[in-house]
Structure 1
Amino acid sequence: MTKQSVFGRISTLVKANINSLLDSAEDPQKMIDQLVRDYTNNIADAESAIAETIGNLRLLERDHQEDVQAAAEWGNKALAASRKADDLRSTGNAVDADKFDSLAKIALQRQISSEREAKTAEPQIAAQTEVVDKLKSGLNTMKDKLEQLKAKRSELLARAKVAEAQTKVQDAVSSINVLDPTSELGRFEDKIRRQEAIAQGKAEIAASSIDAQFESLEDLGELTEVEARLAELKAGSTAKPQEALEG
């Protein structure tokens, strides 16, 4: 896996329109799970690649600083050698003066070489710094999107649970539709109605039996009254002849 491929995937994932992907997905939850895995894996790869890139940048910066410092040191040495040559030449020691002038020239050559190397490294450092800044920004965006994905996943799971609960409620309501004679409640109501009808029938039978008994009592009462009146008649008819004899 090259750094370039990692950086390319960072750019692709950063530019990805999550909402568009979810809208076109047959199963948004599976899509989110896959995106979470992709982002998590690529963030880990990106962090490793960016760390390596930053390490290379720091080496460039260190080398550049060393070249700048070396150029300054060689400049100081050239100045010191040149002054020494001037001092020797002022005392008439031309041979030694020439030697120190030669040393000053060597020091100046090395100063120029160090300055050239430092100058060459500067655009590389600038470009590498820009790359690192962009990668850090892209990495942070990926981390933000990963958190968005996780939040979106939690939201989808919650909505799925609500939808499942609503479906169960609707199924339960449908199963107890009072207007549906085939529903459990309809069958239970029908059973109760039959039991109520049977109880009503028994009550009517019991009422009929009681009415018959009262009718028998009324018939018996009529017979008793007839007997009583007959007895009165008989008593009355017996009393009248006696009254006639006594009179």
Structure 2
Amino acid sequence: MAKQSIFGRISTLIKANVNALIDSAEDPQKMLDQLVRDYTNSIADAEAAIAETIGNLRLLERDHQEDVQAAAEWGNKALAASRKADELRGAGNTADADKFDSLAKIALQRQISEENEAKAIAPTIAQQNEVVDKLKDGLNGMKVKLDQLKSKRAELLARSKTAEAQNKVADAVKSIDVLDPTSELGRFEDKVRRQEALAQGKQELAASSLDQQFNQLEDMGELTEVEARLAALKAGGSAGALGS
């Protein structure tokens, strides 16, 4: 009964559609991990059941072989007894000849008994051989499925890590997007531009103040010349340019 249950589990697991299970799972990775555990445990159970079945089969085969050998031995004993009886009867010893014929009959009866036991066990041996072959095929199929599950799990994990890395890169690129006015880099660039504008304003203001100072010097030079000419007039000179 236990072997039949194991065989049923093997058939069910072999027929399972891995891709369909993955598509319907909320968390494919957890589902695959559980499937790997289930398959591994089922394979261990199947191997134990198959080993037990093979052991019982070998016992049956050994018993069958012993029955066949025993039947052959009893047949040889019957032949030997029959020949001895013929030999004694030919020598005129009828009493001993009958005795060996009786022994031959007993041996033949034992031979028939052993042959019947061998025949009776033969169908069971054939059936058990079929069961063992099916269990072995099922076990091999489960091992193939287990390899597929492990490959799917590795593929899924690799895809998950790749997607995670891509998302991190995308987030990083977005955070330093120079075209994004709300980003830190955009605000820093705006601050720098305001500082540059302020410096430019201060430079222009300083230049304007310097020009004004030079203009004041020119005005003072003109006043000095006027005073000089006025002094020359008072001294009796003309109002023309000095030194003319």
Instruction: With the length of structure 1 as denominator, give the TM-score of the two structures.
Output: 0.86
After superposition, give the CA deviation of every residue in 1:50-87 in whole Å (9 maximum; x if it has no partner). Answer: 11011111111111111111111111111111111111
Question: 1:48-197 maps to which residues of 2 (within 5 A)?
Answer: 48-197=48-197
Cα drift, residue 223 of structure 1:
5.8
| 3-state SS, counterpart of residue 108 of structure 1 | helix
After superposition, give the CA deviation of every residue in 1:26-64 in whole Å (9 maximum; x if it has no partner). Answer: 111111011001001111111111110111111111111
| Two-structure CA RMSD over aligned residues (Å) | 2.5
Segments of structure 1 that go 5 or more residues without pairing to the other structure are: 239-247
* Structure 1: distance between partners of 2:23 and 2:172: 31
| 3-state SS, counterpart of residue 143 of structure 1 | helix
Aligned to 1:21: 21
CA distance 1:59–1:222, shift in 2 (3 Å): farther
* Structure 1: distance between partners of 2:198 and 2:143: 74
CA distance 1:24–1:217, shift in 2 (3 Å): same
Segments of structure 2 that go 5 or more residues without pairing to the other structure are: 239-244
Aligned-pair identity (%): 81
1:190 aligned partner, one-letter code: D
CA distance 1:74–1:220, shift in 2 (3 Å): farther
* Structure 2: distance between partners of 1:157 and 1:199: 56
| 3-state SS, counterpart of residue 180 of structure 2 | coil
Question: 1:38-57 maps to which residues of 2 (within 5 A)?
Answer: 38-57=38-57
Does residue 199 in structure 1 map to residue 234 in structure 2?
Answer: no
After superposition, give the CA deviation of every residue in 1:93-116 in whole Å (9 maximum; x if it has no partner). Answer: 111111111111111111111111
| 3-state SS, counterpart of residue 180 of structure 1 | coil
After superposition, give the CA deviation of every residue in 1:89-137 in whole Å (9 maximum; x if it has no partner). Answer: 1111111111111111111111111111112222211111111111111
Aligned residue pair count: 238
1:63 aligned partner, one-letter code: D
* Structure 2: distance between partners of 1:58 and 1:232: 150
| 3-state SS, counterpart of residue 177 of structure 2 | coil
After superposition, give the CA deviation of every residue in 1:177-232 in whole Å (9 maximum; x if it has no partner). Answer: 33332222222222222222222222222222333344345445656777888899
* Structure 1: distance between partners of 2:31 and 2:193: 55
Instruction: With the length of structure 2 as denominator, give the TM-score of the two structures.
Output: 0.87
Aligned to 2:5: 5
